[in-house]
């Protein structure tokens, strides 16, 4: 966890590009940020460890090798508890602010109602984040400085890949608390990874199944779409056959201590397994892309 006075321009996220962009894949880690502005901490009613509970801590590091495979990696520096890139920009709860923000708002969104809009109201088990109302200008500031630059860059990457390769694949990289799947490491029934393709609408079923098979080849147990089918990012960008978007959720207990936010002994093995899987998935897609009717495969 890094604490800063504020984010300067150009420091809200990284776009790590390969020396030679040679494959139609983009990897994104929108919730891996661990840099906290002092303004967030001063307004919060919760301690720092509790605020961190929605982080996808270390996920960007697990996928840090993908530029060597020819694919860019995007990663946010700011935390999800500050701004959630996996939400629509209009999923805003006006009750969080001292006046209604002058923005389009979907106040009736189920995610807003649950406290998990683009600016979250709660973290963990329903714990309220803020001690008082936020200034109305805060909503527009966070969207302008943090949300839109990330999505603009991601959209540009995908558009470039479609133009160059004729198709693109977005791998949206996340982690899940071990309690979300109700199994512990060591339990033979545990789920290590959940792949979400919005039940086949955001990604070709063939591609999703190959991704699952390759993960299983690495000794990982894989679930599909339950309890995570994919969020706003897969919904927004996944339009087969031109752009396939698939979400990967990784059980945090495999690679970190969830209480102390430290890597555990399984981190390096998992990182290598994910890199091997990514390399083989890219090879598979490149070998099949010219000969597959992806639209039919997605139906």
Taking residues 84-113, report their average pLDDT: 93
Band of the pLDDT at 127, cuts 50, 70, 90?
very high
pLDDT value of position 60? 98
Q: What percent of the chain clears pLDDT 70, i.e. is strictly above it?
A: 94
User: Which helix (H) or strand (E) element contains residue 171?
Assistant: strand 168-176
What sections of the chain are H helices per DSSP? 38-43, 48-51, 59-62, 110-113, 137-142, 148-165, 205-217, 232-237, 267-288, 294-298
Q: What is the CA radius of gyration of the chain?
A: 19
Q: Is residue 251 within 8 Å of 190, Cβ to Cβ?
A: yes
pLDDT value of position 107? 87
pLDDT value of position 85? 98
Band of the pLDDT at 181, cuts 50, 70, 90?
confident
pLDDT in tens, 231-273: 999 999 999 999 999 999 999 999 999 999 999 999 999 999 9
Name the least confident of 4-18, 145-159, 176-190: 176-190
pLDDT in tens, 35-72: 999 999 999 999 999 999 999 999 999 999 999 999 99
pLDDT value of position 95? 94
Please give the model's pTM, rounded to 2 decimal places.
Answer: 0.93
**Residue indicated by tokens 């996808």:** 56
Q: Is residue 130 within 8 Å of 96, Cβ to Cβ?
A: yes
Centroid of chain to Cα 149: 16
Band of the pLDDT at 289, cuts 50, 70, 90?
low
pLDDT value of position 179? 83
Domain 2-78+143-298 has CATH 3.50.50.60: no
CB atoms within 10 A of CB 219: 9
CA quadruple 16, 22, 26, 27: dihedral, nearest 10: -60
pLDDT at 33 over 80: yes
**Residue indicated by tokens 């961190």:** 52
Q: Mean pLDDT across the chain, nearest whole number?
A: 92
Measure the CA–CA gap between 247 and 174, rounded to whole angstroms. Answer: 7
pLDDT value of position 19? 79
List the structure tokens of 46.
């919760």
Q: Is residue 206 within 8 Å of 275, Cβ to Cβ?
A: no
Measure the CA–CA gap between 274 and 277, rounded to whole angstroms. Answer: 5
pLDDT at 17 over 60: yes
Q: Is residue 81 within 8 Å of 54, Cβ to Cβ?
A: yes
Q: Which residues contact 286 (CB under 8 A, 6 or more apart)?
A: 23, 24
Q: What percent of the chain clears pLDDT 90, i.e. is strictly above it?
A: 85
């Amino acid at each position: 966890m890094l604490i800063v006075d504020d984010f300067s321009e150009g420091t809200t996220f990284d776009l790590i590009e390969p020396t030679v962009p040679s494959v139609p894949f983009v990897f994104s880690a929108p919730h891996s940020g661990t840099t906290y502005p002092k303004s967030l901490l001063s307004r919060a009613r919760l301690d720092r460890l509790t605020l961190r509970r929605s982080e996808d801590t270390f996920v960007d590091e697990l996928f840090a090798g993908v530029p060597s495979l020819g694919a860019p990696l995007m990663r946010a520096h700011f935390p999800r508890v500050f701004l959630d890139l996996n939400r629509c920009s209009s999923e805003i709860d006006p009750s969080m602010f001292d006046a209604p923000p002058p923005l389009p708002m979907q106040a009736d969104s189920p995610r807003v109602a649950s406290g998990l809009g683009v600016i979250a109201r709660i973290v963990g088990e329903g714990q309220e984040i803020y001690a008082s109302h936020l200034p109305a200008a805060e909503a527009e500031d966070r969207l302008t400085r943090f949300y839109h630059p990330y999505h603009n860059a991601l959209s540009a990457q995908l558009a470039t890949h479609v133009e160059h390769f004729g198709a693109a694949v977005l791998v949206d990289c996340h982690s899940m608390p071990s309690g979300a799947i109700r199994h512990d490491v060591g339990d033979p029934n545990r789920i290590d990874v959940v792949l979400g393709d919005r039940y086949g609408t955001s990604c070709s079923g063939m591609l999703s199944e190959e991704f699952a098979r390759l993960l299983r080849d690495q000794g990982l147990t894989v679930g599909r779409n339950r309890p995570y089918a994919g969020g706003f990012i897969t919904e927004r960008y996944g339009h087969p056959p031109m752009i396939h978007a698939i979400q990967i959720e990784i059980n945090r207990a495999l690679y970190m201590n969830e209480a102390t936010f430290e890597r555990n002994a399984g981190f390096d093995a998992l990182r290598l397994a994910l890199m091997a899987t990514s390399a083989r998935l890219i090879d598979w897609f490149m070998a099949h892309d010219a000969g597959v009717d992806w639209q039919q495969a997605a139906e």
